[in-house]
Structure 1
Amino acid sequence: MLEGLHYQNAYVCDDLEAAIDLFRGRGLRKEPIIIPVEQDVRTADGPRHQKGRICFIWIDNLQYELIEMETDEVGLYRNCLSNGGPLRFHHVCYRIDDWADFRARVDQQEFPVAMERDLGGDALKFLYLDARNVFGHYLEYTWMPDAMWEQIKAM
């Protein structure tokens, strides 16, 4: 299942400020905003809690998401293997136009849902498919209203 607009590559790090520093002089044009994240997500094993900080860096038409986790009850970020460097590649993210159509097909494909968040209505929706056995990483899919998309692109 590879579809939608690929707009993001995401990395796990242990020190968010040090990770941001790695982008200085490499295309970073605006000082990024660090966003605290605390959320409950659905998993096959029931609801789980996550807490951490993220940062979005746009370089041309690609967003880099940097993720520093404090609490990861899902284990989704904790299981990201070290490559010996400060950034560990974790997933790519695709924007989906029609969430209902996409979501109806998720259970028909081969990759299990690792976690999902859907608050209904016009709230951001996302899920991670565990595609590590084929691609070596997770696949994230998001849906958001156009106004939210424009805000994210302006970050």
Structure 2
Amino acid sequence: MFARPNSQHCQVAYVTNDLQAAMAALKEAYDTPGFFELTNIQPGEDPTGRPVLKIALAVVGGVEIELIEPVGDTAPLFSDFLPGGDELAIRFHHVATRIDGPLTHWDAHVASLDLARHPVVFEGGLGDMLRYIYTDERATLGHYVEHVWMSPDLLAQMRVVVPSYPPVKD
């Protein structure tokens, strides 16, 4: 699963019921730098039938930390990890492996997976800039694994906007 050409562990992700409070908690408890915030739904885009997620990203020690707040009941893959109630919840959800290089590396990576043993439970993309799938590894590992590919241009843009600690020196 993890030992694939052009693939490297890049992220640890948590789901939360309150993105703002979770960012504050990580800043307080772990000196996490500021976060880059985004949503998976673009302004004016119809979210019908799609999960709506608020996301915050920071890079700490070379590993991206992702916080995800599922909005409403649109994203059970993410919200099912959260307990009920009003108290702040932050729960581990998945690790991610990034596939580097051209889009053909992504295609080869996905083709190398035994999808009967590692079923895809969520997938998406953005033109020729982004591809991702989540495989269900809960029976073995207790969590999901995200496999993600970004075009070199998108990866460079993300490295500029996502805060890093310690700061990346040019």
TM range (shorter): 0.7 to 0.9
**Does the residue aligned with 1:50 lie in a helix, a strand or coil?**
coil
2:95 corresponds, among 66, 76, 92, to 92
Deviations 1:96-150 (CA, angstroms, capped at 9, x unpaired): 13101012123455111001113442x2100000000000000000001122212
Q: Flag the 1:81–1:24 CA change in 2: closer, same or farther, 3 A.
A: closer
Distance in 2, Cα, partners of 1:87 & 1:148: 28
2:13 corresponds, among 10, 14, 22, to 10
Give the aligned residue type for 1:2. Answer: F
Distance in 1, Cα, partners of 2:19 & 2:82: 17
Which residue of the partner structure matches residue 35 of structure 1? Answer: 38
**Does the residue aligned with 2:71 lie in a helix, a strand or coil?**
strand
Contact 1:52/1:70 (8 A) holds in 2: yes
Distance in 2, Cα, partners of 1:130 & 1:28: 28
Instruction: Please report how far the alpha carbon of residue 73 of structure 1 lies from its aligned counterpart in structure 2 after TM superposition.
Output: 4.0
Give the aligned residue type for 1:106. Answer: L
Q: Flag the 1:5–1:110 CA change in 2: closer, same or farther, 3 A.
A: same
Contact 1:7/1:62 (8 A) holds in 2: yes
Report the TM-score, using the length of structure 1 for normalisation: 0.82
Deviations 1:17-62 (CA, angstroms, capped at 9, x unpaired): 1100112142323x2232122289xxxxxx9411121000111201
Distance in 1, Cα, partners of 2:10 & 2:41: 23
**Does the residue aligned with 1:110 lie in a helix, a strand or coil?**
coil
Contact 1:48/1:74 (8 A) holds in 2: no
Report the TM-score, using the length of structure 2 for normalisation: 0.75
Which residue of the partner structure matches residue 53 of structure 2? Answer: 52
Contact 1:10/1:90 (8 A) holds in 2: yes
Distance in 1, Cα, partners of 2:110 & 2:61: 29
Distance in 2, Cα, partners of 1:119 & 1:27: 32
Report the RMSD for the aligned CA atoms in angstroms. Answer: 2.4
Q: Which consecutive residues of structure 2, in runs of 5 or more, have no partner in the other structure?
A: 163-170
Q: Pick the structure with greater CA Rg.
A: 2
Higher strand share: 1
Distance in 2, Cα, partners of 1:61 & 1:23: 16
Distance in 1, Cα, partners of 2:137 & 2:81: 13
Which residue of the partner structure matches residue 44 of structure 1? Answer: none
